Amino acid sequence: MDDQVFDQQYRYTGAEVIGNSVNRQKNFFTLNKGRRDSVDIDMAVATSEGIAGIIVGCSENYSVAMSLLNLDFRVSARIRSNGYFGSLNWDGRNTGQAILSEIPQHAPVIEGDTIETTAYSALFPEGLMIGVISDFDKSGSDFYRITVSLATDFRKLTHVQIIENLRKAEQTELEKQFQ
C-alpha cells in the first residue's frame, strides 16, 4: 500500500469560476462543481497564486464561495519569515489588499515579507500563499495594522482548486470538547 495515499489529508478538485463579484462589500463567486463532484460547504478555494475563498453553498452541479473580498471572511495568517500569526480580513476598500491584525509590535515586520496560511485552520492547508506585506503601522494598541498585497487577482479569477480536508471532522469534533 502507498503510505502517501493512505495518509493523505487534502483532496483537490479543479473548477472554473463562472460568476464573480468584486465591487460589493460582501463578494462571492460561483464554480462549475457541486455535490456530484464531492464538493461541500466549508471547503477551501485557492488559485495557483494564493487563497481565494470558502465554499458556502452547494447544489448538485454548482457551488458558491465566499470570496476573501468579503467583510465576513477571516483566515488565520502568519508571517513566513518569523512565524508570528494573526487574523487576516478584507476591509472593504481595495480589491488587491487585505489587513493582517493581532501581530504584536515586538515582532519583526518588514515590507515584502510573505503572508501565508497557518495550520490553525481546519479548512486551508498550512503554507498557502496569501500575499506580501506592503505597509504596516502601529494601530494605537500593542499590535501592528499590516496591509497585505494579495497574491490572488480577484478581477481575473478563472481557474481554482477546491480543497477538502479529509481530517476536518475529526479535528473539529476533538476541538469542540475543549471550547
Q: What is the pLDDT along the chain (179 residues), one digit of tens a residue?
A: 444 556 799 999 999 999 999 999 999 999 999 999 999 999 999 999 999 999 999 999 999 999 999 999 999 999 999 999 999 999 999 999 999 999 999 999 999 999 999 999 889 999 999 999 999 998 678 999 999 999 999 999 999 999 999 998 888 899 889 98
Domain map (residue ranges) of the chain: 3-70+154-176, 75-150
Q: Which three cell numbers stand for residue 107?
A: 515582532
Q: Check if 3-70+154-176 and 75-150 are the same fold.
A: yes
- The yes or no reply on domain 3-70+154-176 and CATH 3.50.50.60 is no
Q: pTM score, two decimals? A: 0.92
Question: What is the CATH code for 75-150?
Answer: 2.40.10.350
